[in-house]
Amino acid sequence: MNYYIIIPAHNEEKFIGLTLESLINQTVLPKNIMIVNDNSIDNTQSILDTFCFEHPELISSVSIKSEAVHLPGSKVIQAFNFGLNFIDQDFDIIVKADADLIFPSNYFETIIQHFKSDDQIGMVGGFAYIEKNGDWILENLTDKDHIRGAFKAYRAACFKQIGGLKPAMGWDTVDELLCKFYNWKVVTDATLKVKHLKPTGANYNQTARYKQGEAFYTLGYGFFITAIASAKLALMKKKPLLFIDYIKGFWKAKAGNKTMLVTPEQGRFVRNYRWKKMKEKLM
């Protein structure tokens, strides 16, 4: 199966070399690695130039100039979608990856094996690990059946049916919900441990935190599911006061009639699915 990787990158001189080294050492190589340099002002481009020169058949890069402000979701997916315009469509699997990861050498060989095992599998991913006191520990921010936004692998047919990736906070949740809406399976593999060199949300400010509440609204959660999800996420991050920011973001989005990421029918599916999952955990 052909797989392509698109990597949005912004000021990643510290990490992107490590990411690319881990990709060129995969037991099954991608057909193409496309890096989208998004307005970097450090040495990211010079590092990319070196890798592109040394691996011209495998690695390529393009540049885009977006706003300097980093808001989760929109900036990175705009860059990803820009990169889509520069690859051919001869892929069986499309991968969105961050520029601060170290993949185990068998990562994509294993991903391909999962896709080959069942034609209804639409997404596959491993788990993110962060360094703490010299040890690599699970970056435990989500449920075990959720694939982190840092590394998403999609079957081509699934990717097209869900409409690609939405340039908004919540893109890495709505994609999986839409997979389930269209009866695709989402598979996580705990044996695939990806080193995440820069903790999630390290650069987020209060405006970005409001965006999380906005995402809950645009995903069609409704207030009660949003309140539960906000409390859970704030506790997982060990910052209880984030709950207030999330709720404020939800009400701001509702008052502003923010554009939804799902249709009314999909929204009903999402709410029913979330309630079902919560009931399963309680029981």
Parse the chain into domains and list their residue ranges: 3-196, 206-282
Q: Which segment of 32-41, 62-71, 90-99, 213-222 scores lowest on mean pLDDT?
A: 62-71
Averaged pLDDT for residues 138-142: 79
Residue-wise over 105-141: b if at least 16 C-beta within 10 A, else e?
Answer: eebbebbbebbeeeeebbbbbbbbbbeeeeeeeebee
Query: Residue 140: what pLDDT?
Result: 77
Q: Which segment of 14-23, 168-177, 234-243, 263-272 scores lowest on mean pLDDT?
A: 234-243
* Fold entry, domain 3-196: Spore Coat Polysaccharide Biosynthesis Protein SpsA; Chain A (3.90.550)
Query: Residue 281: what pLDDT?
Result: 79
- As a whole number of angstroms, the longest Cα–Cα distance in the chain is 56
pLDDT reading at 199 higher than 90: no
- Tokens 């601060």, residue? 100
E strands of 116-174, at which residues?
A: 121-132, 135-138, 151-155
Averaged pLDDT for residues 73-97: 93
pLDDT reading at 233 higher than 90: no
Averaged pLDDT for residues 93-114: 98
Q: How confident is the model at residue 65 (pLDDT cuts 50, 70, 90)?
A: confident
Averaged pLDDT for residues 93-119: 98
Q: How confident is the model at residue 1 (pLDDT cuts 50, 70, 90)?
A: very high
pLDDT reading at 96 higher than 90: yes
Averaged pLDDT for residues 245-273: 94
Quote the percentage of the chain above a pLDDT of 70.
94
Query: Residue 169: what pLDDT?
Result: 87
For 143, residues 6+ apart whose C-beta sits below 8 A from its C-beta are none
d(CA 188, CA 72): 23
Query: Residue 124: what pLDDT?
Result: 98
